[in-house]
Amino acid sequence: MVNDGLVSIVTPAFRAGRFIADTIKSVQAQTYQNWEMIIVDDCSPDNTCEIVERAAVDDARIRLIRHKTNGGIPAYARNTALAVANGRWIAFLDSDDLWLPDKLKKQIEFHKKKAALISYTAFRRFSDKDGRVGRRIAVPDMLSYEGALGNTAIATSTVLVDRAKAGNFSMTITHCEDFVTWLKLLKIHSPAYGLNDDLMRYRVVQNSYSRDKIKYAIRVWKAYREDLHFGVFPAVRFFSEYAIRAVLKYLRF
C-alpha cells in the first residue's frame, strides 16, 4: 500500500560524482518535505556511491541502491527504484539536474487540482561549463496522447505521476524510454497537464546520455517504428513534428 502524501523521487546515477551532491541538495531544499529519494547507481567507476552514502547517513530519506551489473540505459535503474518506491507520487530527477525549492509543493497542488495522471513543468537549461542560465522553456497547458506523439515538451526531470491513477508502472526498456513511457501512460489517462512555472534546471553536459541530439533523434525514430509500431508515413509525420519542435526549442539558449 502506497503512502498517500509521500513523493518517491527516482534518480538513476552513472558517473555522477561531479553533480549528485548538488542534485541531492536541491531535493533537501524543497518546501515540500515528505519525500524519499531513491538513487540507483549503475556501476559508476567514480565516487558517486561514496557521496550518496555520506548524504544518506545524515538524511534517512535518501536511499542508495547499487546495481551489480551496468544496465546501459537509465530505464533499468529507474525500474529498480520504481519497484521499491513507497509513495503515491512518483517524481523523476536525473542525477545532473536540479529542482527549484517550490517544485514539489507547487506541482503537487497543481496536479491534484487537475486530477492528472501526469504533469510536467517549464524549466531552464544551464551550462555545466560556465553556469550560464538560459531562457525559460515554456510548456503547453495540456497534451493528449495524440498531441504528445510529436512533441518534446515533457522533460523527464519535471515529470510527476500519480500512482493512484497509474498503478504500479515501469519504464519501457527501449530506445527512448521516457518518451515511450509517457505515451503509454497517456493511453491510460489523458491528457497530461503542463504547469508553466519555471521549476527545474536542466544541466547541459557534454557527452551525457541524452544530450547528443543526433543519436537521440535516431532513438526517437526507432521508438515510433519499433515500440509504437507506426507505419512509415505516420512515423515520418510524427517524427517531423517532433524534430521541428526540438529545433525550435533548442535554437537559442
Is 250 among the domain residues?
Answer: no
Give residue 210's pLDDT: 52
Say if residues 114 and 196 touch (Cβ distance below 8 Å).
Answer: no
Domain count, the chain: 1
Give residue 167's pLDDT: 94
Is 214 among the domain residues?
Answer: no
Q: What pairing do the DSSP bridges indicate for beta strands 142-143 and 98-99?
A: unpaired
Is 237 among the domain residues?
Answer: no
Is 231 among the domain residues?
Answer: no
- Alpha-carbon distance of 33 to 12, in angstroms, equals 21
Nearest alpha-carbon partner for 120 in 103, 133, 145: 103
Is 192 among the domain residues?
Answer: yes
Residue 35 belongs to a domain with what CATH number? 3.90.550.10
Nearest alpha-carbon partner for 15 in 57, 91, 75, 70: 70
Q: What domain range is 106 assigned to?
A: 3-206
Is the pLDDT assigned to residue 209 strictly greater than 70?
Answer: no
Give residue 215's pLDDT: 82
pTM above 0.85, yes or no: yes
Q: What is the pLDDT of residues 34-77, one digit of tens each?
A: 999 999 999 999 999 999 999 999 999 999 999 999 998 999 99
Is 234 among the domain residues?
Answer: no
Is the pLDDT assigned to residue 211 strictly greater than 70?
Answer: no
pLDDT (average), residues 232-246: 94
Q: What is the pLDDT of residues 10-21, one digit of tens each?
A: 999 999 999 999
- Alpha-carbon distance of 72 to 42, in angstroms, equals 8
- Alpha-carbon distance of 153 to 116, in angstroms, equals 16
Per DSSP, the three-state class of 242 is helix
Is 93 among the domain residues?
Answer: yes
Is 144 among the domain residues?
Answer: yes
